[in-house]
Structure 1
Amino acid sequence: MADPDLVIRLRAAGCVYAEEEARVLCSAASSSDQLEAMVARRVAGEPLEYVVGWAEFDGLRVAVDPGVFVPRQRTSYLVELAATALAEVGDPGLALDLCCGSGALGLALTTRRPGLRLHAVDSDPLAVACAARNLANVGGVAHLGDLDAPLPVSLRGQVDVITANVPYVPSAVIALMPAESRDHEPRDTVDGGPDGLVLLRRVATLAPAWLRPGGWVFSEVSAAQAGTAVAAFRSAGLAAQVHHDPERDATVVSGRQSMPSS
């Protein structure tokens, strides 16, 4: 049972899941002094994941450093869709994770599909260092660079699945986001430009060059953006569709490379 006084402090600070957070903080602290320091950081508005150094994602504990995007629980839906697509592949397959952040998606995907060859990319050195640690035990490779720029050219036309959890919040909406994200996560990890889809359009354009025939690309968007995102994928020559999970309030757009005609 969580410490009632701690729960009260967290709830007063606006923590919606105060009891659960109290248990996480207590389990992470090795002394009462450390617990007090951690609680003070959380009460001041720092994300819980930064305070304890990890996030729960798809049943895994993923290391998350301050300054690195915190993986959202709803994004596990994207992982499920990508894993289902990979199930069609005879061998473990090859995947790219663009805008990888902490590497949470790649870690979850390789855990679901042992032996998967994974290359993850992010433009932020902090994120790449964090992803490299998270992916070390599953054989994933983390690259520093802009989208596909640092990837080996030998992968072109060979990729089974691309996951791209790109920033998709419209710039004007950033101010309305929860303070713990707005004030602590780097803006470029959430800001998707005027309509939120600037990076997604770039992913749609580059994906066909990397995907094998029948390969898939998956990106999370808001429900309101889904139609525009589908149009971007179709303009790139991909067969696109929308997937929605109401339980997690998650919307994903997929694009599939065409198969050669027989």
Structure 2
Amino acid sequence: MSLPSLDRSASASAPAPASAAVVVARLRAAGCVFAEDEAEMIMSAARDAAELAEMVERRAVGLPLEHVVGYAEFCGLRIEVDTEVFVPRRRTEALVQRAAALAPSRAVVVDLCCGSGALGVALADRLDEVELYASDVDPAAVRCARRNVAAAGGTAYEGDLFDPLPAALKGRVDVLLSNVPYVPTVEIELLPAEAREHEARVALDGGADGLEVLRRVVAGAAEWLAPQGVLLFETSERQSDEAVAAVAAAGLRARVTTDEELDATVIVASLS
């Protein structure tokens, strides 16, 4: 696929080492634990000294690093991430890995609640041929996803869950990725400030028990999945039993997989 892979040596435009020391010191003073790594990313992204100074200050006052530099590192790819758009988490790479293991080499893939479109793009990068679609209810996320998904040959739609997708996809989807929001509403205020203050609430809030959006997804999934298609979503370990129950209530079969290294819980649902 045409999305750029990460090149960690690409820092030819970075400021001189003396400036690097100043950047690291400013970031460290602001509480950035990985100040050296963040400084390298910011300096590589900045086009001139003025932009560098602005980016450093934006990071120092608490903006997520990915919003500062304009991209996230995900599954070895550079995914564009605009301000206020949900930043793909490293643990979600487990979902992509599991999907890649289950998908046919030529697949129809839908990324629901797509955010930046990272999941669908990363899966497309691992398969031979993909017909890729994505949707999200947040206009800002869709604007961002359209750039990422287009680079992978796909299309992103704005709307609620399945509503904006082409009807012709019904019964054809081999892999349905849905990284639904699963934080209970009362726990939003307990999230780190970077997420709580700088990512769209609609991308975080899963309702009273964190599973409200998931229930709507599984209720509609059967009509869209191909006969051997699979739905994959991420949840927390403590919510996994209730999530499996929601899948079963929708008439689907669920399998729970975990990745201890990434601290991830992924549920795979299928028609049989």
* Corresponding position of 2:163: 149
Aligned mates of 2:207, 2:264 — CA distance in 1: 20
Q: Are 1:119 and 2:141 counterparts?
A: no
Report the Cα offset of residue 224 of structure 1: 0.5
Letter in 2 for 1:68: V
* Equivalent residue, structure 2, for 1:80: 97
The answer to whether residue 78 in structure 2 is matched with residue 64 in structure 1 is no
1:52-100 CA-partner distances (Å, limit 9, x unpaired): 11111100000111121111111111011111111xx3x5111111000
Deviations 1:138-180 (A, max 9, x none): 2111011100011111111111110000111111111111111
1:3 aligned counterpart, secondary structure: helix
Query: Which residue in the other structure is 1:241 paired with?
Result: 255
Number of equivalenced pairs: 255
Name the CA distance, whole Å, in 2 between partners of 1:33 and 1:179: 26
Give the corresponding residue for 1:170: 184
1:48: which partner in 2? 65
8 Å Cα contact 2:138-2:202 kept in structure 1: no
Counterpart-to-counterpart distance in 1, 2:32 and 2:203 = 23
CA distance in 1 between partners of 2:55 and 2:167 (Å): 45
Letter in 2 for 1:19: E
Residue 187 (structure 1) aligns with: 201
CA distance in 1, matches of 2:260, 2:35: 24
Equivalent position SS for 1:69 = coil
The one-letter amino acid paired with 1:105 is L
Output one character per residue of 1:92-144: Cα deviation in whole Å (capped at 9) or x when no partner: 11111100011111110111113211110001111111111111122111011
Structure 1 CA distance, aligned partners of 2:257 and 2:36? 33
Once the 2 structures are TM-superposed, how far is the Cα of residue 30 of structure 1 from its aligned partner?
2.0
Counterpart Cα distance in 1 of 2:97 and 2:216: 23
Alpha-carbon distance, 1:8 to partner: 2.9
TM-score, normalised by the number of residues in structure 1: 0.94
Q: Residue type matched to 1:203 in 2?
A: V
What are structure 2's unaligned runs of at least 5 residues? 1-16
Q: What is the alpha-carbon distance in structure 1 between the residues aligned to residue 197 and residue 53 of structure 2? A: 22
Matched, 1:134 2:148: yes
1: distance between equivalents of 2:128 and 2:228?
Answer: 21
Structure 2 residue matching 1:201: 3-state secondary structure: helix
CA RMSD of aligned residues (A): 1.3
Q: How many angstroms does 1:7 deviate by? A: 2.2
Return the offset for 1:6: 2.3
Report the alpha carbon displacement of residue 3 of structure 1 after superposing the two structures with TM. Answer: 2.8
Which amino acid in structure 1 is aligned with residue 81 of structure 2?
V
The one-letter amino acid of 2:25's match is: I
- Residue 242 of structure 2, aligned match among 228, 233, 236: 228
Q: What is the CA–CA distance in structure 1 between the aligned matches of 2:92 and 2:188, rounded to whole Å? A: 19
Alpha-carbon displacement from aligned partner over 1:218-242 (angstroms, at most 9, x marks no partner)? 1111110011101111111111011
Distance 1:14 1:220 in 2: 30
Amino acid at match of 1:222: S
SS in 2 for 1:247: coil
| Match status 1:216 vs 2:233 | no
Normalization by structure 2: what TM-score?
0.90
Q: Does 1:13 align with 2:25?
A: no
Q: Among the aligned pairs, what percent are the same residue?
A: 53
